[in-house]
Copies of this chain bind each other. A is one copy, B any other.
């Protein structure tokens, strides 16, 4: 078996779009977010991304210059809207419950969301150091900074980083490794265990 199995008939026939640069660009971005979040940077192929957007691979490079450029645009797009952090975070004393619910919701074992941090976690083992740099900067600018500011107190950046680490770890173990206790246990039970841990990091020493 060379490489990997490829039963890829494309979920919907992708009816032809009237020529519209903006719409095409966004369609490519959506497809790229899905692919990068599902398979990581190295695992997602330009031809697959293009096909699911209803275009050819070369058009992707015409819009975004290269795969690196596409990744940068896609992670920027992802970080700007559908993230647990940033969209109206609650008071500090309910942050643990809020973030725990958020991570459990966005890492349901069956679906693959368009989340930016998930994209980055999955892309983390790429061989391309520039891709790591791109993602790290986005996470630090959008998630780390926001969260650290919301926390305050001593070592706010480090505590925020540990919260992000815990969230990333749950993403890894729940969605990528499919660790049984995280994949099978009810979200309510997990929430009760996870929330106070995040809250402890939020409150500080």
Contact = CB atoms under 8 A, between A and B. Distances in A.
A193 B176 contact: no
B201 A193 contact: yes
A189 B205 CA distance: 11
Contact of A181 (B39, B158, B179, B192): B158
Contact of A164 (B124, B135, B155, B179): B179
Contacts of A172: 121, 124, 165, 168-169, 172
Interface residues of A, number: 55
B170 A165 contact: yes
B43 A126 contact: yes
Interface of A: 4, 39-40, 42-43, 120-128, 132, 135-136, 139-140, 144, 155, 157-162, 164-170, 172-174, 176-182, 185, 189-190, 192-194, 196-197, 200-201, 205
Nearest to A159: B193
Given A189-B158, A193-B162, A179 B136 contact: yes
Contacts of A126: 43
A170 to B, nearest CB: 5
Contact of A165 (B40, B42, B136, B169): B169
